[in-house]
Amino acid sequence: MLMSVLSSASAYYLAAYLVFPSQAKDYRNLDAHYFRIRRLVMGVLLILLLVQLGFYASEPQLNAALASPLAQAFTAVLILLMLLAMAFRGVRANIAILSLLILRYLAVYLL
């Protein structure tokens, strides 16, 4: 259990670390940096989500909560938006997708 928690935390740290450029010269064009690392970061987050869903499925109480149609819909929307963020290359499309991801998180926490 300890190793799985450590692995998850390390993967989240890696994703957060990659979001910010390591070189000062890369701060000049953050769009280029975003488009260079977005697939890797979203891929790491998607894998973590799938592992988390697998853990939830193994716990009876969490599995019951995850079986609700609302939870399944929110999860499906999250996976779809993450895949779209990985697939689309346009700036406007990515702004729209990231905005929808933010709105999805707000909706989950407000409901």
In the predicted structure, residue 109 carries a pLDDT above the cut 70: yes
- Which pLDDT value is given to residue 31? 86
* Beta strand extents in 30-90 (DSSP E only): none
Count H helices and E strands in the chain, helices first: 5, 0
- Predicted pLDDT of residue 26: 64
Please tell me the predicted confidence (pLDDT) of residue 42.
Answer: 95
* pLDDT tens-place string over residues 47-105: 999 999 998 889 888 888 888 999 999 999 999 999 999 999 999 999 999 999 999 99
21-63: per-residue pLDDT in tens? 887 776 778 888 899 999 999 999 999 999 999 988 898 888 8
User: By the 8 A CB rule, do 11 and 52 touch?
Assistant: no
> Residue 44's pLDDT is what?
95
The percent helix, strand, coil of the chain (3-state, each to 5) is 90, 0, 10
pLDDT at site 47: 95
Q: How far apart are CA 95 and CA 5, in angstroms?
A: 32
pLDDT band at 4 (very low <50, low <70, confident <90, very high): confident
